[in-house]
Amino acid sequence: MKILVAVKRAIDYNVKARPKSDGTGVELANVKMSMNPFDEIAVEEAIRLQEAGKVEEIIAVSVGPAQCQETLRTAMAMGADRGILVQTETEIQPLGVAKLLKALVDKEQPGLVILGKQAIDDDSNQTGQMLAGLLGWAQGTFAAKVEVGVDTVDVKREVDGGLQALTLKLPAVITADLRLNEPRYVKLPNIMKAKKKPLDIVTPADLGVDVAPRLKLVKVSEPAARAGGVKVADVNELVAKLRNEAKVI
């Protein structure tokens, strides 16, 4: 079985995202970019399945500008066998990414596609679900545990207040949640080895996919600044403030 893993180049999780001054999007100029953290977990899971002998090949896919090659090289340094960059300079919305991934699934015929549960830049949490819908495949989202059987996969999903256990028929789409695993650190020799692994570059047009945006971004703005807190002397003062100032009781 092959596994396709989607890896997005996103703003590094340590960087505070800021809106552009004209509100047309998030500022990306001179901002550190890295692999979306949930996608590292997705790659790690694919590698563990390969190490367990359940998977022959892991293909990492990224959609975005030429710099996404770095993200793919990181996935390959972790252990992915090859990479595919769908190169485009325009920002592609989750539906567009899902359509591109579907086109690659049709071509590569993987038994499993693993994505992150969400990209930490747009927080959409849509791509995996849309891909499963477009393919007509089963989906196990927010996965905290994955066990691949002969023609099924057992997924434990993070849900409010616990875990939900599902058995999905293969082929299937899985999205990785935080507790699924702890991704390995990339070792220097593996970075060198990854440079020699195959990396194909295609465009949305090569895949025959229309990626025109379907959603219009109206405005990106900072959240309202939080007012400082005050200490109250006793419960009576607290209740008075809640009633008269905050007007919440």
Contact 115, 97 (CB under 8 A): no
Contact 197, 76 (CB under 8 A): yes
Beta strands in 88-137 (DSSP E): 112-116
143 counts as binding ligand AMP under rule CB under 6 A? no
Residue nearest to ligand AMP (CB): 116
36 counts as binding ligand AMP under rule CB under 6 A? yes
CA distances from 189 to 58, 76, 77, 194, 242 (A): 19, 12, 9, 9, 60
d(CA 130, CA 9): 19
Q: At what angle do helices 94-108 and 127-135 cross, to 10 degrees?
A: 50
112 counts as binding ligand AMP under rule CB under 6 A? no
Answer for which of 2, 8, 102, 157 binds ligand AMP (CB under 6 A) is 8
Interface stretch with ligand AMP, choices 13-21, 115-123, 199-207, 234-242 (CB under 6 A): 115-123
141 counts as binding ligand AMP under rule CB under 6 A? no
> Strand pairing partners for 139?
173
Interface stretch with ligand AMP, choices 105-113, 124-132, 139-147, 162-170 (CB under 6 A): 124-132
69 counts as binding ligand AMP under rule CB under 6 A? no
Q: Report the residue number, 7 or 194, with the smaller CB distance to ligand AMP.
A: 7
Answer for which of 62, 74, 139, 141 binds ligand AMP (CB under 6 A) is 62
d(CA 119, CA 68): 14
Sites for ligand AMP among residues 76-105 (CB under 6 A) = 92, 94, 97
User: What amino acid occupies position 103?
Assistant: A
Binding residues for ligand AMP (CB under 6 A):
6-8, 36, 38-39, 42, 62-64, 92, 94, 97, 115-116, 118-119, 122, 124-128
